[in-house]
Amino acid sequence: MSTLSLDPGADQLAVRDWLHGFAADVMRPAAAEWDEREETPWPIIQEAARLGIYSLDFYAQQYFDPSGVGIPIAMEELFWGDAGIGLAIVGTTLAAVAVLANGTDEQIGTWAPQMFGTPDDVKVAAFCSSEPDAGSDVSALRTRAVYDEAKDEWVLNGTKTWATNGGIASVHVVVATVDPALGARGQASFVVPPGTPGLSQGQKFKKHGIRASHTAEVVLDGVRVPGHCLLGGREKLDERLARARERAAQGIGGGPGKGGPGKGGSGGNAAMATFEASRPAVGAQAIGIARAAYEVALDYARTRVQFGRPIIDNQGVAFTLADMKTRIDAARLLVWRASWMAANNQPFTSAEGSMSKLYAGETAKWVTAQAMQILGGNGFTREYPVERMHRDSAIYSIFEGTSEIQRLVIARTISGVPIR
């Protein structure tokens, strides 16, 4: 087990500085353009791939860093550059995490490299969980997966929504219901390989923020995938379903759960295993946005003169900046703690992963709003980046578990009561 340190080592600092340079020199100059275009910034993803930033090897190195802070450092720097472009670059990792959390070693080795492609032929991947009638309530998923034993194939039917890279992805990871009677415990994840017939893109969403990141519906119409595309394999699924049916017969509920990261509270649910593993990383993204807005506001307050003096000389402005900085640093500490715990297989006994995502997401919204206020009328215009940062921050109390769901997870975990 590594020791939790607030002083990153030389290797981590080098990665941080490298990513900061890419964010400052490549992402920021292009941020406003791609936000306006609302299109996937393929040239920037390709440049990131050429440099080794968009690659399985890079994210694997950060993911398996024993300190636990490799991924948070990377996410914070990229999203300091721009959230929309940042999500376009890292959106594939959610699908990769789904394979890492639920798949076998062979499946990880087969599918994870295909999600990224090569610098000359860049690919993206999509994780498809939410549905038009099932967002926070993952037990309500209607997408079905039926096994065709004669052909050793799974047949998938349904519609997914809010899928990052949905429809444009090379590899899609789809959460589907295998046994509807078991609710969330009757679900599994499936890889849909490139070019599989029956998978198509539905509507592409025009969003309030993170507009350089592609978000769309994914329609599954008689999609057939080989049996080996069931993440974890058939034997593991059958064992899990048998346990769930036995518990259901005994009238035993799922309970809040207090397992380790990627396990705690998920009860073996495929979607929850993915979200729990990714929550601290999502929190780090929010911190990057908040830090960027804070820095703009601090610089503006130092140089903006009103009534004969810089506005930072006023306590009302100075104290707000003090609170902004304090909340950002507190959020980072929560994210680093949860990330270190996950890297060292420490159980989230108080839902530390959800804590980190909740506080970081709310911090990003509050800090960017304060930054707009400090800039006054300028903050409301697109001449300054804080209005875009404020729009981008809004999603962090919504996706990968709303703030209300995070509070529910935390409350259930600390109380041991199935609070509703």
Q: Rounded CA gap, 420 and 404, in Å?
A: 11
Nearest Cα neighbor of 128 from 99, 150, 159, 103 is 159
H-helix or E-strand spanning residue 93? helix 92-102
Nearest Cα neighbor of 96 from 254, 281, 304 is 281
What letter represents residue 87's amino acid? L
Residue at token pair 């046994």: 179
State residue 156 phi and psi, 5-degree precision. Answer: -110, 135
What letter represents residue 348's amino acid? F
Residue at token pair 């058939």: 234
Token pair, residue 102, equals: 């639920």
State residue 142 phi and psi, 5-degree precision. Answer: -105, -15
Question: Are 93 and 53 in contact, with CB atoms under 8 Å apart?
Answer: no
Residue at token pair 């860049």: 122
Q: Rounded CA gap, 203 and 201, in Å?
A: 7
Token pair, residue 380, equals: 């409301």
Token pair, residue 200, equals: 């198509």
400 is catalytic: yes
Question: Are 164 and 94 in contact, with CB atoms under 8 Å apart?
Answer: yes
Nearest Cα neighbor of 94 from 125, 73, 131 is 125
Question: Are 305 and 33 in contact, with CB atoms under 8 Å apart?
Answer: no
Token pair, residue 234, equals: 């058939």
Longest CA–CA span in the chain (Å) reads 82
Query: Cα 331–333–339 angle (5° rounding)?
Result: 105
Residue 161, SS3?
strand
Among 217, 276, 362, 400, which one carries the catalytic annotation?
400
Q: What is the DSSP letter of 65?
A: -
- Which residues form the catalytic set? 400
